[in-house]
Structure 1
Amino acid sequence: MNLFDTVVVVDWSGGNERGRAPSKDAIWACVARKGVSDAPVYLRNRQLAEVWLHELLEAELAAGRRILAGFDFPFGYPAGFAAAVTGCADPLELWDWFEARIEDAPKANNRFDLAAEINRGFGGKGPFWGNGLARDIDALPRTKAAYHNPFPERREAEQHAKGAFACWQMAGAGAVGSQVFMGLPVLARLRRAFAEHLAVWPFEEPERDIALVEVWPSLTVSAAREGVIKDAHQVAELAQKISGLAPEVLNQMLSVSAPEEGWILGLGHEAHLAALPEVGGELQPPPLRNDCFALPAGVDWTPVEEALKLLQARLRPVVGQEEVSLLQAGGRILASDLLALRANPPHPNTAVDGWGFDATDIEVGPQSFRAVSGRSAAGKPFEGVVPKGSAVRVLTGADLPHGVDTVVLDEDVAVGDGEIAFHGPLKQGANTRRAGEDVAMGALALASGRVLTPADLALAAAVGHGALPVFLRLRVAVISTGDELVEAGDVAGPGQIFDANRPMLLRMAERWGYVPVDMGRVADSRTALRDTLDQAAREADVILTSGGASAGDEDHVSALLRETGALQEWRIALKPGRPLALGVWNDTPVFGLPGNPVAALVCALVFARPAMGILSGAGWSAPQGFDLPAGFSKRKKAGRREYLRARVRDGRVEVFQSEGSGRVSGLSWAEGLVEIGDDAQDISPGDRVRYIPFGSFGL
């Protein structure tokens, strides 16, 4: 069985809508992939949850991903119940039976009445108990005092799961029965909508693109941190744990026979799940597969655009996660969506210094209000109520006192003995800020993958976060290869040159926010290069080499990667740049850049930088270009995309006098690149060309 690409865990609710603000005892869901979870999603009612689930499954199928969807309520009842109700022991028939009879709206449903109807078929005293309504319901006992159950109290799964609740309880703490009543109809509709793609485990073999499974977060999940909603924490951690399981372990967990009652995924494997990292801990994703760089069969020369699309599709983050304090998070990459824990502003407040009052009946012309003693200032709100017809002094940023909905500016007010006066009209709500008008509580404040700026830290602080989940910094090892290289400042012998690429690439990695790891220079020795690559793979998350990436006798980077079976030589149709060697060494991705400095820089900017964006968790980033008039002439043949060293002067783009890949002075002279497309072009002064400043590449 293949791995599931996506895991979603849902904490269900049998009750009514919980409101727009995230809360406990509501529906929470979380998506995880490869041992990394997204931010938990709050779904305030079952109708929204069903739409969200349907859209998620559609999107994952369209992307070619297999999905395991876990729900925290029983998929079946103790033996005998399904046959007694439907005449058939197939629990999926019972799903359809419930779906045909449950009536559900955000604020009301018929679950208690349906439980009573079932009870009446068995003598009126069971198997269900617990009435959460104010009205009595015939045949549904409020407590277990007069309760009689003609079926086993627990499934076999609950007998093994310490602390699990029975499915007969409809109200009160642990009312699993209500979750089953309100959950099975939704799953029945999903099963019908995705019929040929979906299997229900353990009633069906989970070999289709979607597998629905029963989960129980309390089986292995850790306690939530203070201030974090328990349900949100549980779905995130369980999704993360399941998605990080090795395929053979998950296969063992799925090897269960429980054709009528169902089973809890992971039951009997608690120790293995508990040993996996918790949310907020340092997560290490699985290694990159050796075939992630493989080109489609028959590809020879690869256009730049196609090469970029292939990289974007094949790569994923290779770094773990950690939580750091807000003050340490600048420049780091946000690892999950950040929801507002508090609205901003948290309360209605005044935008100016002035006087606040109720403007419901204000008219045109002179207005006068009695001045209330006291004032409202930022951090020191007015504690009383301002009567209608009265006004109170308010200062910028202060909470609006009760009875105040409008503020008039100081400079528009005349202040007398115990009263104020000004000219109307004044629009109701003038000079005030509504609570949450910037960011509502529970709204998305910052999206995952964002490189956190100083302004982002201000926003995170304003909405209540003191610590942020971030990806560990990508560690980038840089290796220069070749007998001809000597360290800058040393004595160069005959035929030797100074190593210009390594200092350039190390500083580029640093400017991109990564941790540069200097592996030094390696001579043209396969043994020495192998040892250096081994060390680089231990110390870094990605390796950049320069030189030795082609197919000559001394091109040892290509040769070593070929020996491991993990080399892909991408003959990319661009200038400057020879074949780009892409491979994996000891589970670490390797970018083999050309040895000429200009080609090394261009390949690093065009290919390595966006690829490392994905590897680091920041996602793919295309550089922003600008169409500007050319200040040069250029005739280009069809077949390759070209990048020219360029800069802007007097509103026109000028290019370096030579296109030679070894002309390092042109890199220092340039302030960006001109990108010329794959087709033949004849550029004259004044024609529009695409100019990409180095700043768009993060330099």
Structure 2
Amino acid sequence: MLGFDTIVAVDWSSGNDTGARPRKDAIWAAVNRGGAADAPVYLRNRQVAEEWLCALFAAEQAAGRRVLAGFDFPFGYPTGFAEALTGSHDPLALWDWLAERVEDTPKQNNRFDLAGAINLQLGDGKGPFWFNGLARDIDGLSRRKDGYANPFAEKRQCEALAKGAFTCWQMGGAGAVGGQMMTGLSVLTRLRRQFDVAVWPFQAPKAQFSFIEIWPSLTVGPAPEGQIKDAWQVAEVARQIASLEVDRLATMLAVDAPEEGWIFGLGFEAELSTPPLRNDCFALPAGVHWTPVDEALDLLKDRLTAVTGIETLPATQALGRILAEPVRARRSNPPLPNTAVDGYGFAGGRDGGPHVLPLATGRAAAGDAPGQVKSGQAVRVLTGAALPTGVDTVVLQEDVRVAEGTIRFSGPIKAGANTRQAGEDVIEGQDILAAGRRITPADLALMAATGTRDIQLRKPLRVGILSTGDELVEAGETAVAGQIHDANRPMLSGVVSAFGHTCIDLGRAPDDRAALRARLDAASGKVDVILTSGGASAGDEDHMSALLQEAGAMALWRIAIKPGRPLALGMWQGVPVFGLPGNPVAALVCALVFARPAMDVLAGASWSEPQGFDVPAAFTKTKKAGRREYLRARLRDGRAEVFASEGSGRISGLSWAEGLVELPEPAATVKEGALVRYIPYGSFGL
């Protein structure tokens, strides 16, 4: 019962009311339902925050939704503190103890006084708490660590593992969490009394509401320019958790820390911290109007990063998937020295002339544990057998005569002949596969041979395919005058599947801006990238470009390419959108040249460049300067033929072709027999 409908992340503060205007170092909260994110909420003080949480939880309860709520302060103290203070090692008893004693208003609270009182009770005023942030002195609480004598551990186990984590005993100063704990745990205690709540890891997260401890800085990087760090971080944490599969979330919650508690995501930082793309990642440099193909590709290569999450799966299930982390050999291959042939093994080489060696009893076969052979003796060995101790050379059985308990053969034979050394293929601990690699059948063999069972994989990239335009109808439907059948969506769906990604059909959107906006909103929580066709230019009915422009995250790339030119690139609620041309030929060419390598990077793979070949032309053509051209082509008798028409609406040419001929930007006259670059569809992954 670990599936959650709603994720909540809260950045807490123990300071005074921060005013009506949103600001940093305040309380911020973010909500994510089913992958759809609400805007972060600014909460000016703890009383407002508690009221907001109560209202949110009541609404979620009424809707029957299960909630996982994370708060950025520790849920427990180092071992022994709870029992010393309450007589019980139960951390939730300590929560109750604190809630009865913390006095809190929007303008002040008694956290420093309470810390001093605890120090006097447990440590003669010398610890465990320290730092008095008030102007007046407080009995039992020092302003600094002078004379400090902590009877407990300085940090919890999880804080010792989390680089940069602060001790819960520090009550104030930059990064301190001591005051946040006292005020925060008191609020959570009252919420526990109102709702069905489980507190992880002290309780199994099976209630309608589950509370977890989070530390946003563990997995969230710097905020984009112009955004408040706290607001950005809670939204990112909620997004990260919402993107987890149920099984992966269960793995992260499988923690045994019954008294001290644990920071959610500790040990899984790399998996959770996949950064989202920035809204301006597609922005062109100032003054750019026409972009050469290579410059456009360089911009995509430099600015795009992986957006997919990470999961652990058996290597046997990894075919076609992308590695998130390098794979390291758990065992050498071969693990032991072994024989490459059927024959007879002995120690050392032999010079020319006849040789006679006594034959030891028994034999060594593949799978046998290595035995031992006395010096000067030989033993029967079969291909693949581990070499017995005392054997380092093998002579082929065809070269041997066995008689009267001996073997007889003629030299010379080189020491080490017909054997394989341990680790001559792969050494234990060696990286055998790199992150970003798409797993092949040969990789499965390599991982199995070196003892690899489970590996870290990128989750499949979810690509939404959307067609736009009132003129489109489905194949098989009646098309009235002025309408055409939608050819782009099935074509692009096939392309995406061939690339190894998960295709999600988003259907057709009419030439209506509100309807298109609703379609994009619905898709943003279900896909990692959107491919659209049509509406990518700047005309009256080009609503895709207009919406991306309204969102403040759109760039219309006019690329020096034929067929193609307009490519609308933008972001919709954090999801990259590739607005391809509406003409099918241009849509396919732009998908192969631009969308394919971009989607590889978004999926966590390495940037890919198609392999082309110089072949003689079976055509003639005069080309103007300025644009790179891609001609539908195929190879026949070792020469490149091109389709008779270059019209971008001639879909039959796409089916006729088996690849593309690429002609560079300069003017050229191609004559029959001249070398041209031919790129087969297979080089694009089709």
Both structures adopt the same fold (TM-score exceeding 0.5): yes
Compute the displacement of 1:160 (Å): 2.3
Q: Which residue of 1 aligns with 2:378?
A: 391
Correspondent of 1:646 among 608, 613, 633: 633
Say which of 139, 154, 157 aligns to 1:160.
Answer: 154
Residue 366 (structure 2) pairs with residue 372 (structure 1): no
CA change 1:271–1:158 in 2 (3 A) is closer
Are 2:220 and 1:244 equivalent residues in the alignment?
Answer: yes
Cα contact 1:158–1:165 (8 A) shared by 2: no
* Amino acid across the alignment from 2:362: G
> In the TM superposition, what is the alpha-carbon distance from 1:378 to its structure 2 partner?
1.0
Question: Is 1:455 paired with 2:449?
Answer: no
Aligned to 2:555, the other structure's residue is in SS state strand
Structure 1 residues 164 and 246: CA distance shift in structure 2, 3 A: closer
**Aligned residue number for residue 582 of structure 1:** 569
Maintained 8 Å contact 2:158/2:262: no
Q: C-alpha distance in 2, partners of 1:434/1:250? A: 58
Q: CA deviation at 1:244?
A: 3.2
Cα shift at 1:416:
1.3
Structure 2 distance, partners of 1:339, 1:423, is 44
After superposition, residues 28-427 of structure 1 pair within 5 angstroms as: 160-162=154-156, 242=218, 244-245=220-221, 248=229, 274-276=263-265, 278-279=267-268, 283=272, 285-360=274-349, 362-383=350-371, 385-427=372-414
1:622-675 CA-to-partner distances (Å, cap 9, x unmatched) read 000000111111111111100000001111101000000000000000000000
The answer to whether the Cα contact below 8 Å between 1:576 and 1:602 also exists between their aligned partners in 2 is yes
Over 3 Å counting, the alpha-carbon distance change for 1:594 and 1:682 in structure 2 is same
Shift of 1:442: 1.2
- Cα separation, 2, equivalents of 1:165 and 1:492: 65
Q: 1:420/1:153 Cα in 2 relative to 1: closer, same or farther (>3 Å)?
A: farther
How far the C-alpha of 1:578 sits from its partner, in A, is: 2.9
- Is 1:445 aligned to residue 459 of structure 2? no
1:301 corresponds to which letter in structure 2? W
1:636 equivalent in structure 2:
623
SS at match of 1:297: coil
Letter in 2 for 1:594: P
Counterpart in the other structure of 1:435: 422
Q: Which amino acid aligns with 2:155?
A: A
Letter paired with 2:583: N
Unaligned 5+ residue runs, structure 1?
1-150, 167-204, 207-221, 223-237, 253-269
Contact kept? 2:333, 2:425, Cα under 8 Å: yes
CA distance in 1, matches of 2:408, 2:501: 61
Deviations 1:415-446 (A, max 9, x none): 11211111111111111000000011111100
CA contact (8 A) 1:283 1:322 kept: no
CA distance in 1, matches of 2:670, 2:629: 13
Give the CA deviation at 1:155. Answer: 10
Residue 235 of structure 1 corresponds to none
Contact 1:376 1:394 in 2 (8 A): yes
Tell me, what secondary structure is at the counterpart of 1:423? strand
| Compared CA separation, residues 467 and 374, structure 1 to 2 (3 A) | same
Task: For residue 156 of structure 1, report the CA deviation from its aligned partner.
Answer: 8.8
TM-score, normalised on structure 1?
A: 0.63
Amino acid in the other structure paired with 2:606: G
Are residues 292 and 374 of structure 1, via their aligned partners in 2, closer, same or farther at CA, if it must alter by over 3 Å?
Answer: same
Give the AA of the match of 2:602: L
Task: Give the direction of change, closer, same or farther, for the CA distance of 1:331–1:240 in structure 2 (3 Å limit).
Answer: farther
Match of 1:624 among 611, 614, 632: 611
**Alpha-carbon distance between aligned partners in 1 of 2:685 and 2:658, rounded to the nearest angstrom:** 12
**Structure 2 residue aligned with 1:476, among 463, 471, 478?**
463
Match in the other structure for 1:604: 591
Distance 2:299 2:330 in 1: 38
Q: Is the 8 A contact 2:219 2:273 kept in 1?
A: no
One-letter amino acid of the counterpart of residue 508, structure 2: R
- Summarize the Cα distance change of 1:307–1:608 in structure 2 as closer, same or farther, 3 Å threshold: same
- 3-state SS of the aligned residue for 1:425? strand
C-alpha change, 1:375 and 1:673, in structure 2 (3 Å) is same
Q: Is the 8 A contact 1:533 1:585 kept in 2?
A: yes
In 2, the alpha carbon distance for the partners of 1:304 and 1:671 equals 22
- Aligned counterpart, 1:528: 515
**Which residue does the alignment assign to 1:29?**
none
Which piece of structure 1 moves more, 589-598 or 455-464? 455-464
Amino acid at match of 1:681: A
Query: Which residue does 2:30 correspond to in 1?
Result: none
CA pair 245-277 structure 1, distance change in 2 beyond 3 A: farther
Pair 336,578 (structure 1): closer, same or farther in 2 beyond 3 Å? same
Structure 1 segment 538-617 matched on structure 2, within 5 A: 538-617=525-604
User: For the Cα contact (< 8 Å) 2:661–2:678, is it kept in 1?
Assistant: yes
Alignment check: 8 A CA contact 1:349 1:400 kept:
yes
Deviation at 1:287, TM superposition (A): 2.2
**1:375·1:381 contact (CA, 8 Å) conserved in 2?**
no
What is the distance in 1 between the residues matched to 2:630 and 2:673? 18
Residues 485 and 164 of structure 1: is their aligned pair in 2 closer, same or farther, counting only changes over 3 Å? closer
With over 3 angstroms needed to count, the CA separation of the structure-2 counterparts of 1:326 and 1:155, relative to structure 1, is farther
Contact 1:629 1:688 in 2 (8 A): yes
Given that 2:633 and 2:658 are in contact with CA atoms closer than 8 Å, whether structure 1 keeps it comes out as yes
The superposition leaves residues 290-329 of structure 1 with CA deviations (integer Å, 9 ceiling, x where unpaired) of 0011111111100000000000000000000001112211
Asked whether the equivalents of residues 281 and 322 of structure 1 are also in contact (C-alpha less than 8 Å), the reply is no
Instruction: Find the aligned partners of 2:261 and 2:533 in 1 and give their Cα distance.
Output: 43
Three-state SS of the structure 2 residue aligned to 1:397 is: coil
Quote the offset at 1:276 in angstroms.
Answer: 2.6
**1:341 shift after superposition:** 1.2
RMSD: 3.0
Match for 2:351: what amino acid?
E
SS in 1 for 2:313: strand
Per-residue Cα deviation, 1:12-64 (whole angstroms, up to 9, x for no partner)? xxxxxxxxxxxxxxxxxxxxxxxxxxxxxxxxxxxxxxxxxxxxxxxxxxxxx
Q: 1:277 to 1:540 in 2, by over 3 A?
A: farther
Q: Which position in structure 1 is the counterpart of 2:142?
A: none
In structure 1, C-alpha distance between the alignment counterparts of 2:451 and 2:325, rounded to whole Å: 16
8 Å contact 1:301–1:573 — kept in the other structure?
Answer: yes
SS in 2 for 1:696: helix
* Counterpart Cα distance in 1 of 2:452 and 2:638: 45
Hey, what's the Cα distance between the residues in 2 that align with 1:685 and 1:543? 41
Percent identity over paired residues: 59
CA deviations on 1:230-279 (whole Å, 9 max, x unpaired) are xxxxxxxx999745356546999xxxxxxxxxxxxxxxxx9998223643
Pair 347,157 (structure 1): closer, same or farther in 2 beyond 3 Å: farther
1-structure distance, mates of 2:158, 2:293: 56
CA distance in structure 2 between the partners assigned to 1:365 and 1:577 by the alignment: 76
2:351 is paired with a residue whose SS is: coil
Structure 1 pair 277/589, CA: closer, same or farther in 2 (3 Å)?
farther
Distance (whole Å) between structure 2 residues aligned to residue 302 and residue 434 of structure 1: 55
Q: How much does 1:162 deviate?
A: 4.5
DSSP-derived class of the 1:528 partner: helix
Evaluate the alpha carbon distance shift between residue 277 and residue 622 of structure 1 in structure 2; reply closer, same or farther with a 3 A threshold: farther
Count of aligned positions: 463
Contact in 1 for aligned 2:619/2:641 (Cα 8 Å): yes
- CA pair 244-437 structure 1, distance change in 2 beyond 3 A: farther
Q: 2:496 maps to which residue?
A: 509
